């Protein structure tokens, strides 16, 4: 058990996210302005936004929003959805509710830091690494070997931050079967779903295929709307949802009403927004394929399976930290070096960096990176 350490990635972003000229490590898709989103709305929803009463809202989330979120699942209804202030609040509350001091959790490494530090602040945690030498594969036998009598949660995240790995379908099914056999909760961070280049095949959502599957979703990534701070958990277990709702009374209490209405509008325009963002991601990936082909002595490129981030290897002179620091100072291009993905649970590669390709200005940022390398 440990206290919560600084969130390294967020600390780095506090310094650089709004200071760097080119954010080439963003983990969200292209965002939009309020008027652009409202232009996609049905007239009644636009009117509802403009005449919204700014009182408290329901802790579970607005009924129409929960209904729209449930519509993104095959088998879940509005009552199986609890909204949060972003995905981050969902991670925190879920772990606090699911785990006690005597429990044990299993977490994939590397990871979005709170995936391991929140459980580590509660109980014992085992890390199971993705294999960087085998296309970031997850060995389900290794997960099985880590299970203890007290294991209560297995936590995964596919498409994965930072590698862009998508677990293969047969391994996913084996993982679900393993959890079911042991009665373990499968906490599945699905925030990068359904993003990827056009035609990406996504895994089923955990809440659709497993009675103890907990699906974490959000408006931040695929929809490009992180400023709304609307996330959710979908789960078939309503008693668990209610415990999480009680915990939420100690944190955000309820979501922002304007954000709920804007999220509803975005979900109703889901096909339009996702098609646009998938096209941007597809075009940017083509661009990155060409860029990395041009610099084989400097980088080793692993083309991600989904999402909008990747984790290439830095092969150039010096450390990747020194490279990233000089790059942002000299050329204003922000990358995220691997040290921010260091894990307390398992060794993680130290020669990588996260690159983001969800945004429309990716080409300009990559051009600035190319100019820097040529200099
Ligand atoms: C895997 C993963 N989960 C959760 C989050 C938190 O999302 P939000 O900013 O919407 O709270 C992030 C943000 O980068 C993430 O990458």
For residue 33, report the distance from its CA to the centre of ligand 1, in Å: 21
Of 135, 150, 80, 131, the C-alpha closest to 305 is 135
pLDDT in tens, 222-267: 999 999 999 999 999 999 999 999 999 999 999 999 999 999 999 9
Whether residue 54 lies inside any domain: the answer is yes
Whether residue 1 lies inside any domain: the answer is no
Against a cut of 0.85, is the pTM above it? yes
For residue 205, report the distance from its CA to the centre of ligand 1, in Å: 17
Structural domains counted in the chain: 2
pLDDT of residue 1: 64
Of 107, 3, 4, the C-alpha closest to 346 is 107
Q: Which atom of ligand 1 is nearest to the CA of 86?
A: 11
pLDDT in tens, 71-81: 999 999 999 99
For residue 193, report the distance from its CA to the centre of ligand 1, in Å: 12
The residue nearest atom 2 of ligand 1, judged by CA position, is 112
The answer on 192 and 330 residing in a single domain is no
Whether residue 2 lies inside any domain: the answer is no
pLDDT in tens, 53-105: 999 999 999 999 999 999 999 999 999 999 999 999 999 999 999 999 999 99
The answer on 247 and 188 residing in a single domain is yes
The answer on 161 and 26 residing in a single domain is no
Which residues contact ligand 1 via a Cβ below 6 A? 27, 86-88, 112, 157, 161, 189, 191, 218, 220, 226, 231
Average pLDDT of span 28-55: 97
For residue 296, the domain's CATH number is 3.90.1150.10
Q: Which two tokens stand for residue 214?
A: 């907990």
Q: Which atom of ligand 1 is nearest to the CA of 115?
A: 3
For residue 51, report the distance from its CA to the centre of ligand 1, in Å: 31
Percent of the chain with pLDDT over 70: 100
DSSP string, 248-288: HTTTT-S--HHHHHHHHHHHHTHHHHHHHHHHHHHHHHHHH
């Amino acid at each position: 058990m440990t206290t919560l350490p600084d969130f390294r990635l967020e600390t780095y972003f506090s310094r650089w996210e709004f200071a760097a000229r080119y954010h080439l490590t963003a983990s969200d898709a292209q965002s939009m302005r309020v008027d652009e989103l409202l232009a996609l709305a049905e007239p009644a929803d636009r009117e509802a936004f403009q005449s919204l009463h700014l009182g408290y809202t329901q802790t579970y989330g607005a009924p129409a929003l929960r209904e729209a979120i449930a519509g993104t699942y095959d088998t879940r209804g509005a009552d199986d959805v609890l909204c949060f202030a972003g995905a981050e609040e969902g991670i925190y509350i879920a772990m606090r509710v699911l785990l006690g001091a005597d429990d044990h959790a299993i977490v994939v490494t590397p990871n979005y830091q709170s995936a391991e530090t929140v459980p580590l602040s509660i109980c014992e945690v085992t890390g199971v690494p993705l294999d960087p030498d085998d296309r970031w594969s997850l060995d389900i036998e290794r997960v099985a070997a880590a299970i203890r009598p007290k294991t209560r949660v297995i936590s995964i995240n596919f498409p994965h931050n930072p590698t862009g790995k998508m677990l293969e379908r047969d391994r996913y099914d084996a993982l679900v079967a393993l959890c079911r056999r042991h009665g373990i909760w499968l906490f599945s961070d699905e925030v990068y779903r359904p993003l990827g280049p056009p035609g990406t095949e996504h895994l089923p959502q955990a809440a659709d295929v497993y009675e103890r599957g907990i699906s974490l979703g959000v408006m931040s990534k695929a929809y490009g709307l992180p400023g709304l701070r609307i996330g959710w958990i979908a789960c078939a277990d309503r008693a668990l949802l209610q415990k999480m709702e009680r915990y939420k009374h100690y944190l955000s209490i309820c979501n922002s009403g304007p954000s709920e209405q804007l999220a509803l509008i975005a979900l109703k325009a889901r096909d339009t927004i996702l098609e646009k963002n998938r096209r941007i991601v597809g075009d940017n990936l083509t661009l990155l394929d060409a860029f990395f082909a041009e610099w084989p002595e400097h980088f080793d490129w692993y083309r991600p399976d989904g999402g909008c981030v990747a984790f290439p290897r830095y092969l150039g002179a010096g450390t990747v930290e020194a490279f990233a620091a000089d790059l942002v100072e000299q050329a204003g291009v922000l990358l995220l070096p691997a040290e921010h993905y260091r894990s307390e649970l398992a060794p993680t590669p130290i020669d990588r960096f996260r690159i983001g390709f969800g945004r429309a200005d990716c080409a300009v940022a990559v051009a600035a990176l190319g100019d820097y390398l040529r200099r």
